[in-house]
Structure 1
């Protein structure tokens, strides 16, 4: 039996300011660091064999805090851009409320939550899926099949893509999914990688 834990990084400065972050490399807030620490407390009982994160410092910092909290700083850490947040294009850095006032709440919701629609000059969730899932299939699935426990600390959209794949969520239902910051989502698998349990801890 293998365990996979997905954690969205703690609150970032742009989360706090209600801005579209995308792949802008912003820092964690003090609250974000506390969220990462608390998420570590929730997974202390699990021993991990490998940890994965994106190339963005809010995810990497969250992972560093989590591994220190669970006293597992010596495990291999792999950072890859396939796990980066989706690129929001022209929206990056803009205030979400001001953007909704300009373009309408319905349009902004489509840009944020739809599967296939791209924000102007940005990535859709489908684009994110198409870079995240092949990496997961080639790099992470073989380790899970080997019985290794895996921790992934990444971003709302790269983790939504993984949830779609793992839980067979369709493109309409995924629009209703919002992953909280700093809350571990835990999967246990059998030897054939069928999900036995899935829950937020």
Structure 2
């Protein structure tokens, strides 16, 4: 049995301020630090051979805290922008409520929650899926098939894309899935590489 652990980074400053963050390199808050510590405590005792994270500090900082809490400071870490959050383009840095006042609630909802509609200058969830899944298939799945246990610390939408793939969800189903910050999800693969999911 091989395990894949997924964790969304702890609360970031712009999560707290209700801003579109996307590819902006914003660190986690004190609350985010505590969420990361709780994730590490939840994962303590699990075997992890290698960890993957994005090129953004909020995910990297969360991963460092998790590994410290687990007492696993020497695990190899792979950093790749393929696991970055979805780009929100021209919306990045804008307050979500103010953006809704400017463009209308319905338009902002479409940008945030549709599968294949891009915000101005940004990525749709479909675009994010098409970036994350080839990376998973080429870099991460082969390790799982070799029996390596893998931890991925990334972002709401990059993880949403991966969950869509792992659970064979439709665009409508994945858009309903909320991914909490700092709560590990565990996917277990059997010898036939069939997967089952549970919260850690």
Shorter-chain TM-score bucket reads: over 0.9
Q: Deviations over 1:58-78 (max 9, x none)?
A: 000000000000011111100
Matched with 2:19 is 19
Aligned to 2:199: 200
CA distance in 2, matches of 1:48, 1:192: 20
Q: Any residues of structure 2 matched to 1:114-133 within 5 Å, and which?
A: 114-133=114-133
Q: Which residue of 2 aligns with 1:44?
A: 44
**Aligned-pair distance for 1:100?**
1.2
- Asked if 2 retains the 8 angstrom alpha-carbon contact of 1:145 and 1:192, the reply is no
Distance (Å, rounded) in 2 between the aligned partners of 1:129 and 1:119: 16
Contact 1:82 1:131 in 2 (8 A): yes
State the secondary structure of the residue aligned to 2:171: coil
* Aligned twin of 1:87: 87
| Counterpart residue number, 1:32 | 32
Superposition pairs of residues 24-173 of structure 1, within 5 angstroms: 24-173=24-173
TM-score of the superposed pair, with normalisation by structure 2: 0.98
Given that 1:147 and 1:191 are in contact with CA atoms closer than 8 Å, whether structure 2 keeps it comes out as no
Distance in 1, Cα, partners of 2:193 & 2:155 = 23
**What SS is found at the alignment partner of 1:172?**
helix
Q: Give ranges in structure 1 of 5+ residues lacking alignment.
A: none
Aligned length: 200
* Per-residue CA distance 1:81-113 (angstroms, 9 max, x = gap): 000001101110000011112222221111111
RMSD: 0.8
- Paired with 1:113 and 1:88, the residues of 2 have a C-alpha distance of 12
Structure 2 spans left out of the alignment, 5+ residues: none
d(CA) in 2 for partners of 1:39 and 1:169? 25
